[in-house]
Amino acid sequence: MLIDKILVLTDFSQAAKVAIEHGLQFARSADCELLTLHLVGQKSDVDWALNKSEAEVRAAENFTPDSRFKSMTEIENVFAGTVNLKSKYGSALTFFGTHGKKDIQFITGSYALKLVNNADSPTLVVQKGSPVRPYENILFFVNFGGQEHQDLAVLRTICRVFKSTVHLVHTGEPDDMAIIGDQLKASGIAVNTVALESPRSGALAELMDKAKALDIDLFALPSVNYAVKAARSKVNAQMQKIITNPQQIPTICL
């Protein structure tokens, strides 16, 4: 899969600045264009927001004179219903920042988990303290939350760009890990398996220990198809714990 555009949502917060750093790192490594988007409440704010967005990118540590970027502003609520980021902006991957557990539901005037759940393309979420470094070690949660449709195209691209190793954590049927592992290996991606003693409950502390030992740069969650409303609530709670993890490791939601 060729990624020629990525999108970064910004609200000019510190978390958004970190998201821009991650976006610039990826855009430089993948040789693609970076788009930034800021939402405004009224037309009179458009010019101010556009100028501030452009200045924010140029002030980033990972900005270089040859960085290809375009800043945009929108008055409309792009988060209503299905979030058509890919179809509207042509972005294959969207970066945004969250301010931690207490603010997980708020980003650029809308809801982070709603964006993750409803976006038509993968989202990569960072916290304000997330380290900006190549995604060389990725911890992928196989069969996270029950029913999934595994779309690995973007994950494969990230692995090729950063020469990543994918560490598979099993939380479902044993066969699923073998299937995903074989798919990744067939693409020339290095794969490792990680066993958790308590994969269903009380596993966050153990997971963080594993992540530290493996020097994990990125968590990866598969896309989830919710069968019932109760499942949505349960999986959202699990997602929140991963996205707002205490080591502030970025999380991509496929």
Burial class (CB in 10 A: 0-12, 13-18, 19+), 19: buried
Domain final residue pick, 87, 104, 127: 127
Mark whether 113 and 47 lie in a shared domain: yes
Q: Note if the pTM is more than 0.85.
A: yes
- Say whether both 69 and 156 belong to one domain: no
Residue 114, in any domain of the structure: yes
What percent of the chain shows pLDDT beyond 90?
53
Reduced to 3 states, what is the DSSP secondary structure of residue 219?
strand
Residues 246 and 154 in one domain: yes
Q: Which residue, of 127, 154, 181, is where some domain finishes? A: 127
Q: Report if residue 97 sits inside a domain.
A: yes
How many CB atoms lie under 10 A from the CB of residue 198? 11
Backbone angles phi, psi at 249, to 5 degrees: -70, 130
CA neighbours closer than 13 Å in the CB half-sphere of residue 44? 0
Q: What is the CATH number of the domain that holds 20?
A: 3.40.50.620
Lowest mean pLDDT segment, chosen from 30-34, 51-55, 100-104, 124-128: 100-104
* Confidence (pLDDT) at 111: 59
Please tell me whether residues 14 and 102 are part of one structural domain. Answer: yes
Q: Which of 145, 139, 140, 211 is nearest to 172 (CA)?
A: 145
> Is position 119 within any domain?
yes
Give the domain extent around 59.
5-127
Question: Quick one: 114 and 201 in the same domain?
Answer: no
Does residue 207 sit within a domain?
Answer: yes
Check whether residue 174 and residue 117 sit in a common domain. no
**Is 219 part of a structural domain of the chain?**
yes
Tally of structural domains, the chain = 2
Considering the domain architecture, whether residues 113 and 160 belong to the same structural domain is answered as no
pLDDT tens readout for residues 125-157: 999 999 999 999 999 988 665 544 456 899 999
Q: Is residue 132 assigned to a domain? A: no
Distance, in Å, from the CA atom of 159 to the CA atom of 136, rounded to the nearest integer, reads 8
Confidence of residue 227 (pLDDT cuts 50, 70, 90): very low
